[in-house]
Amino acid sequence: MALVTLEGVGKTYRGRTGAWEAVRDFSLDLAEGEFFCLLGTSGCGKTTVLNMVAGFEQPSTGRILLDGSPVERPGADRGVVFQGHDSLYDWLTAIENIGFGLRLRGMGRRDRRAKAEHYLHMVGLDGQGAKHPSELSGGMKQRIQIARALANDPRILLMDEPFGALDAMTRAVLQGELSRIWAETRKTVLFITHDIEEAVALATRVGVMKRGPGGTLKAVIPVDLPFPRERTSDAFMAAFREVHALIHDEIHGAH
Amino acid sequence: MTRFTVRTERFATIAGYVAGFVLLFLIWHLAAVYLVKSVLFPPPIPVFDRAVVLIEDNILQEQIVASMRRILQGFLLGSVIGIPIGLAIGSFRIVRWLLEPWTEFFRFIPAVAMITVAVIWFGIGEESKIFLIAYTTVFVVVISTAAGVGAVGRDKIRAAQCLGASRLQVFALVALPATVPYILTGMRLAMANAFVTIVAAELIASNDGLGKLLWDARLFMQVEDIFVALVALGLLGFLTDRVFRLLIRAFAGRFNATV
Ligand SMILES: Nc1ncnc2c1ncn2[C@@H]1O[C@H](COP(=O)(O)OP(=O)(O)OP(=O)(O)O)[C@@H](O)[C@H]1O
Ligand SMILES: [Mg+2]
């Protein structure tokens, strides 16, 4: 059975400017342990899909199941890494941010600290735990967010363009780290991006979205390349071209 | 190295303040001696001489203590009432609908306009002054606290929710600490209002305090006394604000790097 199932999910926003159908008839099964990249142009509805899986928003049509039960609200079984880093708590240190979910569950101070240190190490920030978010770089903040989500041991990790605001070099480094962490933990991941190379580098499957209104899943392509992936290899290039051909129409198609 | 730079920076700040005050008194001196040349505008030196006399007679200290005690009592009372109300307005839509008309109504009635009411209700004793200071403090603190709650980033709350936080946990562990800088800023603004209010209240109805000193000086045409009171007010306000900023740094600096 799939870990997460989206069945004919649609979302229509109603506001001052009338109704806007952001997502239409979106169906997808996410298997336990896979790294699924959802790829699409800006405004096609990627964040809307993620927000519904996270439980921040309710679908207008269709339904979303986690382990067979409908998603109704946000919960600790779905960890989210946000696009910006406004989600970190400025008044807590890095280590306290990572241990925040454990604190909510009433875990004792010392256990919490030990576990948080473990994840701090996993995201490569040993020795930086006492710093506050204002003393960390953008890349470090995203690492903290990832560690915070992982420390809570969710069933699935939902990531909304987590590296979108970083420079190209930092982004490549973090992609490598994330790939390594995923290989270590085999956590199920739903990862949103509009960067084809990022998707091909990370994913076991790439879903390409059709642009809105009524954004929906256009095609799903498996990426059967071994990790760590060599970005200059022929096989990587071939996968890149395949995805690129699909998304090309979305970027340049008449509208 | 860092200790050294922190020290020199602090020294430079203090030196800047001293230079600023020296310049202020110099201009005052020049204006009084060469420009205005009137007994109604004394230069700084006789004013300082007079201040020394008032301090030796223990008069100035008494007035300062009287005014500052009222300010602190009213200010603390107003903050203690204002913070929970502001938190409730910011957190619950129903409370906002109910109470926002109140705050929007009363904040346009300045404390100075309430002096007569305060005197009728509480007499010219301490209660009326404390009421007025608390009154002027409450609305500023309520409004900035409520604004702070409203300004908590949506992602901060969502992050807590998907880490498993209950509504109470979201409030206590996210909304409240995120609002602390707003609360402190509101209190700092309220402190400035408190100075305005206390002088006006003491001018009209009081047996002591800096406002009373001003009033008596006017009655007996002791121009130097007026200026002593004015300088004392300025310095007290300045010092209070510094102390407040230090407290904000000490207790909440880590809440917000920009404080
Ligand atoms: N709260 C909302 N109210 C009204 N319309 C919305 C709302 N949120 C999103 N939309 C609209 O839905 C569409 C999809 O938005 P969404 O944020 O999901 O796009 P996206 O694929 O994540 O884009 P990007 O890559 O730029 O983040 C957009 O046209 C957007 O204007
Ligand atoms: Mg988005």
Dihedral sign from CA coordinates of B198, B200, B206, B207: positive
Q: Which chain A residues are Cβ-neighbours of B153 within 8 angstroms?
A: 86-87
Buried b / exposed e over B5-21, threshold 16 CB at 10 Å, is eeeeeeeeeeeeeeeee
Which pLDDT value is given to residue A255?
47
| Contact status of B183 with chain A (Cβ, < 8 Å) | no
Instruction: Give me the DSSP letters along B59-103.
Output: HHHHHHHHHHHHHHHHHHHHHHHHHHHHHHHHH-HHHHHHHHHHH
Nearest CA in chain A to B156: A87
Residue A200 belongs to what H/E stretch?
Answer: helix A196-202
Between the CA of residue A12 and those of A9, A70, A210, B147, B241, what are the distances in Å? Answer: 10, 19, 16, 30, 51
Residue with CA closest to ligand 1 atom 16: A45
Residues from chain B contacting residue A146 (CB–CB below 8 Å)? none
Which residues does chain B have within 8 Å of residue A84's beta carbon, measured at their own beta carbons?
155
Range in A82-86, B44-48, B78-82 with the lowest mean pLDDT: A82-86
Contact between A148 and B160 using a beta-carbon 8 Å cutoff: no
At A43, phi and psi to the nearest 5? 85, 5
How high is the ipTM of this complex? 0.92
pLDDT single digits (tens) B8-62: 888 888 899 899 999 999 999 999 999 888 888 999 999 999 999 999 999 999 9
| A104 → closest Cβ in B155, B169, B180 | B169
Closest ligand 1 atom to A46 CA? 21
Question: Residue A27 contacts by C-beta under 8 Å, 6 or more apart in sequence?
Answer: A6, A7, A8, A9, A62, A217
Nearest to A134 among B162, B180, B257 (CB): B257
**pLDDT tens digit sequence for A139-170:** 999 999 999 999 999 999 999 999 988 888 88
Express each pLDDT in B61-73 by its tens digit: 999 999 999 999 9
Please state whether the predicted TM-score (pTM) of the whole model is above 0.90.
Answer: no
Does the CA dihedral A13-A15-A17-A19 come out positive or negative? positive
Pick the ligand that lies closest to the CA of residue A214.
1
The band of B258, judged by pLDDT with boundaries at 50, 70 and 90, is: very low
- Beta bridge pairs of residue A188: A156
Residue A73 contacts B, CB cutoff 8 Å:
yes
DSSP class of residue B125 equals S
Tell me if B156 and A75 make a contact (CB, 8 A cut-off): no
Residue of A nearest to B151 (CA): A86
Q: Cβ(A55)–Cβ(B162) under 8 Å?
A: yes
Compute chain B's Rg from CA coordinates: 22
User: What is the structure's pLDDT at A253?
Assistant: 61
Residue B195 CB contacts under 8 Å (≥ 6 apart), including other chains:
B71, B233, B236, B237, B240
Residue A209 exposure: Cα atoms within 13 Å on the Cβ side: 33
Q: Where are the alpha helices (DSSP H) in chain B?
A: 2-30, 44-56, 59-91, 93-106, 115-122, 126-150, 154-161, 167-170, 176-204, 210-219, 223-252
Q: How far apart are CA B127 and CA B117, in angstroms?
A: 12
**Residues β-bridged to residue A70:** A65
For ligand 1, residues with CB inside 6 Å are A 13, 15, 20, 22, 40, 42-48, 194, 212
